[in-house]
Amino acid sequence: MTPKKVLIAGATGLVGHACMKHFASHSDCEVIALSRRRPDETFRARWLPLDLTDAAACARLAPEFAGVSHLVYAALYERPGLVAGWQDEEQIRTMLVDALSGAGHKVESATDGLTGLARFQGGRFDVVLTDLSLPECSGLDVARSVKRMHPETPVVLITGWGHLLNPERLRESGIDLMLVKPFRLERLLSVLGDALRLRPSA
């Protein structure tokens, strides 16, 4: 059997640890494992300390990787503050776009209300989803402007403060439906379906 050279990135992680253990049982495998911290166990693997975000350090270690035939990439880059993920606007926007695109919808996103409104003005949209807290103008301002331009377009407000908002004020602002954070994909798709049914042509 041809000897294999396996590189495992993420030696201290759950997956990396399991892979090091697994490949230790294959006598035809030479195993190299890397991570920033030293793993408690390396089994038969040769551990190399490496920060994958450090380009110079990666270049220095590159000769060690010559002849690698298999790569297990189990290194996980975690953004600082990811724990508060559902509150992070960028995370939410990316997640929404991915989830809705994955469900077959054509989606455009914007980082703030004014950009979103400019995009809305220049295109044709079935539904608007807006967060309540936005830079520049609030989700309620977005809803008002959307309704001024196209009163028939349903607007969904995404907020973590659902129970504190005055329903009368929401209606006056042009909010048709609310999506309360944190929410699951099924809830997102269900609210979107309800919003689509609100269109006059639906």
Between 35 and 173, name the residue whose CB sits nearer to ligand NAP: 35
Binding site for ligand NAP (CB under 6 A): 10-16, 35-37, 50-53, 74-77
Closest approach, Cβ 85 to ligand NAP, in A, equals: 13
H helices of the chain, where? 14-24, 55-61, 89-102, 113-121, 139-149, 167-173, 185-197
Closer to ligand NAP by Cβ: residue 12 or 145: 12
Task: Count how many Cα atoms sit within 13 Å of the Cα of residue 169 in the half-sphere of its side chain.
Answer: 9
Q: Which residues pair with 7 in a beta bridge?
A: 32, 71
Residue number with the smallest Cβ distance to ligand NAP: 13
Asked if 37 contacts 12 with a C-beta cutoff of 8 angstroms, the reply is yes
147 contacts 140 by C-beta, under 8 angstroms: no
Closest CB to ligand NAP among residues 14, 103 = 14
Minimal distance, residue 10 CB to ligand NAP, in Å = 3
Give the nearer residue to ligand NAP in terms of CB position, either 74 or 96: 74
> In the complex, what is the shortest distance from the CB of residue 33 to ligand NAP, in angstroms, rounded to a whole number?
9
